[in-house]
Amino acid sequence: MSNPFADTEAFEALRTAALDGDEAFERYRRREAASARRQVARLVELQLSARIERMVEVAIAASRAVLLVGPPGTGKTEILEQIVDRIDRDPARYGFTTEGIDAAWVTPEEEWTFEKLVLGETVEDGEIRSVEGDLLQAIAKNQWLVLDETNRADMDRVLGGVLTWLSGKKVRVGSRRAAGEPIVPVYLEWTDQAECQVRLLDTPPSVEYAAGAEWRLLGTYNAVDAQRVFRMGQALSRRFKHVPVPPASPQDFERIIAGHVSDEDRLEWFVDRVTRLYAAHLSVEDAQIGPGLLIDVPAYVEKGLQMASYDRPSVEGDNSSALADVSPTDDSEDAFIEELLAEAYLVSVGNLVAKYEPDLLDELGMSIARSESLTPANWLWVKENLHAMRA
Ligand SMILES: Nc1ncnc2c1ncn2[C@@H]1O[C@H](COP(=O)(O)OP(=O)(O)OP(=O)(O)O)[C@@H](O)[C@H]1O
Ligand SMILES: [Mg+2]
């Protein structure tokens, strides 16, 4: 990105804008924040089928509301971040005319209500005041709204009042109560203009939050969060276009996991074992997980090895290389790494696997045994420890 301060004119414009509390400054600030997010996003090279990627892009370009659906850790959040960023950099490719496309990201919580997302109330100096929820705020700022992990909240309840609006019609969502102003009804509406508009209408007095033709409601939905997931009912679900984000193939996973191994000497071992674990999950339909859930496994094992090597006094008195001196074929070292691998699995995926029904857990156990990713003794140990994670 070019440095705006290298250009005196741009700097002057920004400074004046900042002093005026100007929209332009606000936009500049948001773009800076988006650019910082982008720096992080660039580090992750997603291994995703080109066709899925295209579907996400075309669906967002073509439709008001799009939901990315798939098992946990398949990169739904990541791809959405990257694609929103891509659209921001070249809106014309997607048929957008808006400059500086930006999105407000929110993660629904279990206790979310319509009031939190759309329009709520609070008491201020003994008076009831209305409060814009995330949706109205996003429209007021002309920001897209991204609901990350919609399965965490009962979205049927939260969005029930705006179903009709989602299909393109105007709906009343409540009243605006502001200090010293008459109470007026608030409507959600759409406009053919590219950008969102908040309009104050006189006859009858009302406020209209009109989402622009280029405004988008995006979201991710984790389809297999076992029993905990809030299912989205048909009425709401059909208001969104759904794009599946399946887990990367084991071949792609090998590439992904290799990027998360620091210990060059054990690179092959890590890639082999963690990929076997991943494939063991993939081969049981209801136990499918994405790479995201296993990418921290190498870091855990490496840390465990490092700490053991620090604890073990070496012959030369140099603690740091003690374990490195032990040949990797050494039996006790082998057993130790196997333990670390099982622990890494437990801390990464145990929380999810603990929610599996007994049949599914058995099926997964057989698949893990066949894959030779965890030793039978270590799988038993994992299973014993899952009890503690069952809330
Ligand atoms: N296909 C992939 N290619 C490369 N990396 C991936 C892929 N899928 C997941 N990852 C890695 O996993 C991390 C976590 O993925 P992300 O959080 O986007 O998954 P998610 O689908 O949103 O998960 P959840 O449903 O749990 O929210 C990514 O940042 C990335 O490092
Ligand atoms: Mg996510």
Eight-class DSSP state of 314:
P
- From the CA of 83, the nearest ligand is 1
Distance in angstroms (rounded) separating the CA atoms of residues 238 and 65: 10
Residue 342 lies in a domain: yes
C-alpha 91/C-alpha 89 separation (Å) is: 6
Average pLDDT of 255-273? Answer: 96
- CATH code of the domain covering residue 195: 3.40.50.300
Residues 357 and 265 in one domain: yes
Domain span including residue 158: 44-244
pLDDT on residue 21: 57
Is 6 inside a domain boundary?
Answer: no
CB-ligand 1 contact for 81 (6 Å cutoff): no
Q: Is 108 in the pocket of ligand 1 (CB under 6 A)?
A: no
Closest CA to 31 of 44, 14, 45: 14
Is the pLDDT reported for residue 187 higher than 50? yes
Q: What pLDDT does 42 receive?
A: 47
If asked whether residues 221 and 256 sit together in one domain, one would say no
Give the C-alpha distances (Å, rounded to integers) separating 296 from 167, 240, 275. Answer: 41, 33, 13
Among 2-6, 231-235, 341-345, top mean pLDDT goes to 341-345
Residue 26 has a pLDDT of 64
Give the count of alpha carbons within 13 A of 132, CB side only: 14
Could you tell me if 163 and 138 lie in one domain? yes
Q: What is the pLDDT of residue 370?
A: 98
CA torsion 35-37-43-49 (nearest 10°) is -100
- The Cα 224–Cα 227 span in angstroms is 8
Confidence of residue 16 (pLDDT cuts 50, 70, 90): low
Q: How far is Cα of residue 181 from the mean position of the Cα atoms in its chain?
A: 40
Q: Work out the pLDDT band at 151, boundaries 50, 70, 90.
A: confident
User: Does 229 lie in the same domain as 96?
Assistant: yes
For 276-313, the pLDDT digits (tens) are 999 999 999 999 999 999 999 999 999 999 999 888 77
Task: Please determine, for residue 2, whether its predicted confidence score (pLDDT) is greater than 60.
Answer: no
Tell me the CA–centroid distance for residue 148 and ligand 2, in Å.
Answer: 6
Asked whether the beta carbons of 300 and 340 are under 8 A apart, the reply is: yes
Are 301 and 270 spatial neighbours (Cβ–Cβ below 8 Å)?
yes
For the chain, helix, strand, coil in percent to 5 are 50, 15, 35
Is residue 71 in contact with ligand 1, taking CB distance under 6 Å? no
**Pair (78, 227) in one structural domain:** yes
Tell how far the Cα of 363 is from the centroid of ligand 2, in angstroms: 26
| DSSP assigned state of 113 | -
Look at residue 369 and tell me if it is in a domain. yes
365 in the same domain as 222: no
For the chain, strand residue ranges (E) read 65-70, 103-106, 119-124, 127-132, 144-147, 171-176, 184-190, 197-201, 206-211, 217-222, 241-244
pLDDT in tens, 346-373: 999 999 999 999 999 999 999 999 999 9
| 147: helix, strand or coil | strand
Last residue of a domain, one of 225, 244, 263: 244
Q: Indicate if ligand 1 lies below 6 Å from the C-beta of 153.
A: no
How far, in Å, is the centroid of ligand 1 from the Cα of 209? 34
Q: Does the residue 285 lie in any domain?
A: yes
Ligand 1 in reach of 151 Cβ (< 6 A): no
Q: Which residue has the higher pLDDT, 104 or 98?
A: 104
Distance 209 CA to ligand 2 centre (A): 29
- Distance set, CA 313 to CA 148, 239, 300, 321 (Å): 48, 64, 22, 10
CA contacts within 13 A on the Cβ side of 116: 14
Distance of CA 248 from the midpoint of ligand 1 (Å)? 10
Per residue in 17-57, pLDDT (tens digit) is 555 556 666 666 666 665 555 454 445 788 888 999 999 99
Any domain includes 311:
yes
Number of domains in the chain: 2
Ligand 1 neighbour 133 (Cβ under 6 A) = no
Helix axis angle, 331-353 to 297-311, nearest 10°: 140
The reply to whether ligand 1 has any atom less than 6 angstroms from the CB of 137 is no
pLDDT at 160 (0 to 100): 85
In angstroms, how far is the first alpha carbon of the chain from the final one?
A: 47
Pair 84, 102 in one domain: yes
- The length of the chain is 391
